[in-house]
């Protein structure tokens, strides 16, 4: 490399300076191909003060509250005849906060452009959908003062698990007041209120709790066959306590309640919960099952904001089993139990926990007393129960004698077994092209109790050994050391499958 002389250095420097000037001129003369006007002047004109230096008040909006935020903004805008939404252009709109955008000045990468929308559910029916703004800025007036609210939906593909509102106003107090009002309106207008929902994971990532609306189940008390007085006790605790909320509160008694339903698979824990949900129209219910129990905080905050509420925590044993951090009950289970404790005692919220392996929960529950104030065992049906179940599912089809014979042969089986038995009998009749009759009940029973159906019995929650040739007697409970059975109907995708219809 040869040394540059002093004159050459000077020349190079001069060239660089000129070249920079040229580039700058070219950029300035370049037609604006980003398509939109600069954002800053629009905001400045609306607010009446230079927008660039103003503080931005940001409010996170979980994905499952996006519709509520949209409704709240529309309500505030409704008081202002000149309110309007402007959109944003440029890919950087997905990444930059409003403060960042304004910092970039008039030539920044985000300009006035199109408003982005998403269609989100507002209820379980196919036509319960709302177009919700996922990117845009409301220009409106609140309490007589101008404000701008930037809306950004959650976008896990860009690493944003939650959406947010960013409020810009001429002074900080005005921005804070608007945020407070928006929060109130979100709870007031919430589409979750009085509905039954499950929190589900989207394929994108962990913390992303989308919401699925589930039709409220329609299970009458007459369709729930349990030992005398058991259903009443549970209903009284969950529903009755809510009905007397004001008296309990006046007397300084806590309203929050926790009920644990435990017992073998297929005996009616989920069925009982479906009945409780049917009994409580107007109560907001959040259903979590197995892995989705991770969303317990979101569920608790929905419950708090939408009282009266029920939070269902199905199959808690699955969580108890997750001992990723060594021995003992899983940290997630403690987190669940602590969340139950964290909610105000006078909140009208009922937590309903189910498990078919209560021994896995016992340690954790004993270490965190006070979370559950009623533990009800949902047992295998006794002879009287099995007869009642046969009457419920097939009473109009078979004679009293055939049903009593079947009752004797089904010792140790579950309620879901009896339900399947009747279905098989009807199927056997259909195959024979005959109306269902006693013979078909016998055929179906032979089939279900045969060796070839061991796995079926297991899936119906029945001890696989149960059957005519096996030792009679109830299936051992707790089913120590056996894999969890019969849970398929309980935690299908979305966690709400067991509740549909
Ligand atoms: N006690 C019952 N009375 C009437 N029908 C019942 C009863 N128990 C169960 N069934 C019927 O069997 C089906 C399955 O029962 P359910 O899902 O309630 O069992 P579960 O106790 O929740 O089992 P798991 O522990 O596997 O979740 C119910 O949808 C219902 O049709
Ligand atoms: Mg269940």
pLDDT in tens, 78-87: 988 899 999 9
Give the nearest ligand 1 atom to 273 CA: 18
**Residue 122 pLDDT exceeds 80:** yes
Residue owning the nearest CA to atom 19 of ligand 1: 266
In whole angstroms, what is the distance from residue 236 CA to residue 279 CA?
Answer: 11
Tokens coding 474:
């109830």
Q: Which atom of ligand 1 is nearest to the CA of 486?
A: 26
SS3 179: helix
**pLDDT for res 73:** 98
Model confidence at 184: pLDDT above 90: yes
**Cα 124 to averaged position of ligand 1 atoms, centre (Å):** 23
The Cβ-side half-sphere exposure at 271, using a 13 Å CA radius, reads 18
**What tokens appear for 51 in the block?**
């927008």
Residue 131's SS3 state is strand
Block residue for tokens 């009755």 = 240
d(CA 351, CA 361): 15
pLDDT of residue 30: 55
Residue with CA at minimum distance from ligand 1 atom 16: 268
User: Which of 151-160, 183-192, 431-440 shows the lowest mean pLDDT across its residues?
Assistant: 151-160
Q: What are phi and psi of 280, to 5 degrees?
A: -125, 60
Residue with the smallest CA separation from ligand 1 atom 9 is 268
Q: How far is CA 46 from the centre of its chain?
A: 39
Give the residue among 140, 51, 141, 134 at the shortest CA–CA distance from 87: 134
Report CA 97 to chain centroid distance, whole Å: 28
pLDDT level of residue 153 (50, 70, 90 thresholds): very high
Atom nearest to 261 CA in ligand 1: 21
Residue 341 near residue 364, CB atoms below 8 Å: no
CA 290 centroid distance within chain: 12
Q: What is the mean pLDDT of residues 308-316?
A: 93
Structure confidence at residue 369 as a pLDDT band (50, 70, 90): confident
- Distance (Å, whole) CA 340 – CA 477: 27
Residues in contact with ligand 1 by the CB-under-6-Å rule are 223-226, 265-271, 356, 378, 389, 415-416, 419, 461, 486-487, 489-490, 498
pLDDT > 80? residue 441: yes
Which CATH number applies to 196-379: 3.90.1300.10, 3.30.428.10, 3.40.1010.10, 3.40.50.300?
A: 3.40.50.300
Q: Which ligand is nearest to the CA of 317?
A: 1
Q: Which atom of ligand 1 is nearest to the CA of 355?
A: 25
pLDDT score recorded for residue 77: 95
Res. 208: pLDDT tops 80: no
Inter-residue contact 230 to 263 (CB < 8 Å): no
Q: Where in the chain is the domain with CATH 1.10.8?
A: 383-459
487 alpha carbon to ligand 2 midpoint, in Å?
A: 6
**If you take atom 29 of ligand 1, which residue's CA is the nearest one?**
271
**CATH top class, domain 383-459:** mainly alpha
Start-end ranges of CATH 3.40.50.300 in the chain? Answer: 196-379
Residue for token pair 């230079």? 50
Percent of the chain with pLDDT strictly greater than 90: 56
Helix (H/G/I), strand (E/B), else coil: 196: strand
Helix 296-305 vs helix 331-342: angle between axes, to the nearest 10 degrees?
10
């Amino acid at each position: 490399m040869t040394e540059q002389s002093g004159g050459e250095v000077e020349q190079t420097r001069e060239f660089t300076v000129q070249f920079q000037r040229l580039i700058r001129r070219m950029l300035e003369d370049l037609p604006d191909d980003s398509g939109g006007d600069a954002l800053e002047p629009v905001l400045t004109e609306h607010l009446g003060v230079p927008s660039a230096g103003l503080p931005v008040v940001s409010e996170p909006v979980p994905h499952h509250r996006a519709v509520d935020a949209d409704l709240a903004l529309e309500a505030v805008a409704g008081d202002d005849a000149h309110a309007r939404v402007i959109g944003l252009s440029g890919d950087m709109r997905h990444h930059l906060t409003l403060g960042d955008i304004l910092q970039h000045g008039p030539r920044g990468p985000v300009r006035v452009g199109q408003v982005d929308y998403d269609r989100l559910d507002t209820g379980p029916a196919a036509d319960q959908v709302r177009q919700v703004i996922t990117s845009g800025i409301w220009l409106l007036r609140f309490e007589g003062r101008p404000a701008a609210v930037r809306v950004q939906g959650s976008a896990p593909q860009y690493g944003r698990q939650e959406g947010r509102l960013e409020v810009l106003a001429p002074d900080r107090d005005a921005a804070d007041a608007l945020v407070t009002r928006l929060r109130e309106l979100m709870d007031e207008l919430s589409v979750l209120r009085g509905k039954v929902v499950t929190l589900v994971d989207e394929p994108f990532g962990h913390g992303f709790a989308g919401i699925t609306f589930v039709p409220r189940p329609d299970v009458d008390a007459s369709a729930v066959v349990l030992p005398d007085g058991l259903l009443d006790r549970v209903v009284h605790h969950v529903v009755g306590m809510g009905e007397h909320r004001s008296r309990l509160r006046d007397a300084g008694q806590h309203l929050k309640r926790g009920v644990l339903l435990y017992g073998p698979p297929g005996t009616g824990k989920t069925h009982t919960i479906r009945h409780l949900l049917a009994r409580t129209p107007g109560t907001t219910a959040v259903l979590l099952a197995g892995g989705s129990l991770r969303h317990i905080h979101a569920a608790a905050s929905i419950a708090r904001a939408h009282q009266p509420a029920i939070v269902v925590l199905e199959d808690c044993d699955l969580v108890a089993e997750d001992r990723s951090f060594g021995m003992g009950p899983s940290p997630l289970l403690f987190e669940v139990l602590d969340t139950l404790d964290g909610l105000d005692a006078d909140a009208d919220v009922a937590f309903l926990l189910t498990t078919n392996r209560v021994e896995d929960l016992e340690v954790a529950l004993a270490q965190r007393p006070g979370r559950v104030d009623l533990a009800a065992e949902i047992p295998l049906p006794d002879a009287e129960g099995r007869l009642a179940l046969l009457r419920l599912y097939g009473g109009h089809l078979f004679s009293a004698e055939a049903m009593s014979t079947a009752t004797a042969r089904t010792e140790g089986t579950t309620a879901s077994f009896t339900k399947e038995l009747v279905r098989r009998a009807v199927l056997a009749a259909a195959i024979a092209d005959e109306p269902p009759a006693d013979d078909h009940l016998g055929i179906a029973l032979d089939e279900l109790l045969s060796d070839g159906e061991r796995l079926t019995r297991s899936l119906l929650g029945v001890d696989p050994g149960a059957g005519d040739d096996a030792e009679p007697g109830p299936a051992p409970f707790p089913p120590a050391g056996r894999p969890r059975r019969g849970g398929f109907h309980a935690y299908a995708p979305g966690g709400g499958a067991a509740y549909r219809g």
